[in-house]
A and B are shown apart, each in its own frame.
Chain A
Amino acid sequence: MSQQIVTLDVREDLRLGREPFSKIMGAVAQLKPDQALLLIAPFEPAPLYGVLGRQGFTHESKAVGNGDWEILFRRDSGDAARLDRGTAKGAAAAPTAPAPGPRDIRVVDARGLEPPQPMVVILEALQELPAEGELRAHTDRKPMHLYSQLLERGFTGQTDEQADGSFITHIRRR
C-alpha cells in the first residue's frame, strides 16, 4: 500500500536559531492515518525518536551529506495517540517509584531540548494525565523551574538523578 509522505525541512529554522520541536509536533498532529513524515534536519534528532516512538511511530534515518539527515517517521499501528501505558519503559532505571504504584505510567522524554521546551513538554503531558496516573519526565537537567508550576497545578514531583547525569521526575496528583 502506497503511503503519502509529508516533508518537513527544519534546517532553516535551526539556522535562524528557532526551536523546531513545536513545528515538528504540529506536523505530526496533522498527519492523516495514511501519511508518513519525512523530516530533514541538520543533525540526527535522536531525542525525537523516543518522543514519536511513544506515539506509535517507527523511524528510518539516513545521513544525506553535508551533515544533514533525513528521517522517515511512519505509524507503526493505527493508534496515533498511544503513549506508554502500564509500563515504564525508559524509566526502568529509576531507582524507586513512589508508593503505592500508579496504574497508569506515562513517560515523556524531554532530553535534548533547549529550555524552556522541556517544561512545555511536561506541562502539556500533564493536561492528559489520569487522576491515578504518574508521569515520568526524563530531562537533561534538574527541572528547577518546573516545581512551582507543579505545585500550582496540584501535582507533586520527585526527582531522581540517573547514572548518566540525567534526571527523572515522577509526577503525580496531590
Chain B
Amino acid sequence: MHSQDDMQPEARLARSPKAGVAVLRGGMAIEGHAPVVGLPLRFLITGMLALGLGVGLLVLRPDLLATYHYNQYVIAVTHLFTLGGITTIIMGAMYQLVPVALETPLYSQRLARWQFVLHTVGFTGMVGMFWVWNLPQVGHFASILGLGVGLFVYNLARTLRQSPRRNAVTGGIASGLGWLVLTVLAGLYLAAAKCWTFSPFAPLAQMHAHAHLGVIGFFIMMILGVSFKLVPMFALSEVRSWRRAAWAIGLVNAGLAGLFVTILVGSLWKLAFAGLLIGGLAVYGGEINAILRARKRRQLDWGLRYFVTALAGLLPVAGLGVVLAWPRLPLTALTTQLENVYGFLALIGVVTFAILGMLYKIVPFLVWYHRYSREIGRQKVPALADLYSARLQALGYWLYLAGLLATGVATAFGHAPGVRWGCALLAASLAVFALNMGKIFSHLVRPKPSPLMVPMATPGIAGASHLTLTP
C-alpha cells in the first residue's frame, strides 16, 4: 500500500472537502491533474539520446548491419535501441499520456521516479555488458531493469484499474504490459540459458521468439492501443468502430501468442500465426484508414505524417516476415541479410519513426502546458505549432525516409559503405529532430508570452484577445 504522500498532490487536493475538485457523477473523483514536466521528460530525453547514440554507432560500425546479426555487438546495439531508446521513450510517453488515454491520473509518480533510476542503470549496464559479452553481469543488470519494469507495470496496472473505460485503448495498453513482462522474463531466461546450459530450445529460436515478443507485443501493441486515442484527437476525427479496434487488438494478441511458441519450437505453424497477426494488423489499418477518412482536418501535420508513414511501413515488414517464415527457405547470404533488414525496418522504420511522430505531439504539449497554461487569458501565449519549425519537420521526414531506404537496400546486399551512408542520413534526420526539440525546450528557459494586445472584446471565446491578423 502507498501512503497518501505517494499520490500526486492533485489527488490529495481532490480528497480535501475544501478543495472542491471536479467530481464525476457516479461518485468517481476526477483529480485536477497537471502533467508534471520533469518525470516524462527525463525518460524522453534519455530515450532520444540512446537513439542518437545507436544510430551514431551504426555509422561508425556499419558492419553490424552488413553482416549476420548473431554477435555480441549487434545484440548490444539492438538493446541500446530497444531498451535504451524505444522502451524508455514509450515509458515516458505513457506517464504523460495516461491522463488523456485512460481518463485518470497516474497511480504514483514516486514509483515512476524510482523506475527511471532502475531502468537507466539496468539498460546502460546491459548494453555495456553485452558489448564485452559478460553474460552473468548482463543477467544482474537485466534483473535491475526487470525490477524497474515491474514498477512500471504495477503503476500502470493500478492506473488501468482506475480507468472508467474498458475498450481497445485500455485493452491494447494492458496487452502491451503483459507482453512486456513476458519479454523481460524471456530475456532473463535467455541470459540464464547462456550461463547454464539447461534450455531445450535452439539459441537462435529463443532469441527470435524473445525479439518478436518485445517488438510486436510491447512496442507495436502500445502504439496500436494509444493510437486509437491520439490519432482521432489530432486528426479531428473519431474511432469509427470500437468493435473493429477490439478485433485488431485480439487478433494481434492471438497471432503473437502462437507465433512466439511456434518460433520457439521451430514449428511450421508459425506461418499460420504470422498470418493471423498480419490479419490483426490489417484490421487495425482498416480502422486507422476509416478514422483518417472521417477527419475534419484534411491536411495531416508532420507529426501525424511521420506516424502514418511508419504504420505504412508495417506492410513491407509483414511481407518480409512472411517470406522469412516460409518453410524450407534456403539459407543464403541474401536470406540471412534479409533477417537484418526485417529487424532494422521493424525497429527503425516502423517503431522509431512512429515514435518520432508522436514525440512531435507529446513534447510540444508538455513544454507548452508547463510554460504557458497559467498565462492563458492573462498574456498572449504561443500556439503549439509556434514552438517548433514545420520546415525542419519536413526536412527530417525526407532525410529519415531516404536513410531507411538506403540502409535497407545496403543491408540486404551486405554493403557496409552503403549502410554507413544510409545511417548517416538517419543521423542527419535525428540531428534535425534534435534541433527542433531544442527549439521546443528553449521555451522552458526563455518563455515567450507577451502582453495582450487587444482587450477582451468577446468574453469567453479563445483567441479573440490576442491575435494579429493579416488582411
* Chain A residues within CB distance 8 Å of chain B: 6, 8, 14-19, 21-30, 42-43, 51, 55, 67, 80-81, 83, 95-96, 106, 108, 112-117, 119-121, 123-129, 135, 140-142, 144-145, 147-152, 156-160, 165, 169, 174
Highest count of chain B CB atoms <10 Å: which of A17, A128, A152, A158: A17
Q: Give the residue name and chain of the A residue nearest to B460 (CB).
A: A125
Q: Does B247 contact A (CB under 8 A)?
A: no
Q: Which residues of A are found within 8 Å of B381, using beta-carbon distances?
A: 120
Contact in complex: B373, A119 (CB < 8 Å): yes
> Interface on chain B toward A: helix, strand, loop, or mixed SS?
loop
What is the CA–CA distance of A30 and B456 in the complex, to the nearest angstrom? 11
Contacts A6-B471, A30-B469, A149-B373 known; A19 to B384 CB distance under 8 Å?
yes
Contacts A141-B233, A144-B103 known; A55 to B23 CB distance under 8 Å?
no
- Partner of B299 from the list A15, A80, A119 (CB cut-off 8 Å) is A15
Contact in complex: A145, B100 (CB < 8 Å): yes
Contact in complex: B383, A126 (CB < 8 Å): no
Q: How far is the CB of B62 from chain A (nearest CB, A)?
A: 35
Tell me how many residue pairs across A and B have CB atoms closer than 8 Å: 193
Apart from A15-B298, A142-B103, A145-B33, what are 11 other A-B pairs with CB-CB below 8 Å?
A25-B458, A51-B461, A120-B376, A121-B463, A123-B376, A124-B462, A142-B30, A145-B34, A147-B32, A158-B25, A174-B20
Q: Which residues of A are found within 8 Å of B376, using beta-carbon distances?
A: 119-120, 123-124, 149
Contact in complex: A169, B22 (CB < 8 Å): yes
What is the CA–CA distance of A169 and B21 in the complex, to the nearest angstrom? 12
Q: Does B141 contact A (CB under 8 A)?
A: no
Contact in complex: B25, A29 (CB < 8 Å): no
What is the CA–CA distance of A112 and B34 in the complex, to the nearest angstrom? 22
Q: Give the residue name and chain of the A residue nearest to B381 (CB).
A: A120
Number of chain B interface residues as a range:
35 or more
What are 30 A-B residue pairs whose CB atoms fall within 8 Å in the complex? A17-B299, A18-B383, A22-B467, A23-B463, A23-B467, A25-B458, A26-B469, A43-B297, A108-B461, A112-B236, A112-B296, A114-B234, A116-B365, A120-B462, A121-B463, A124-B461, A124-B463, A125-B462, A127-B377, A145-B33, A145-B34, A145-B369, A145-B373, A147-B21, A148-B33, A156-B21, A158-B22, A158-B23, A158-B24, A174-B20
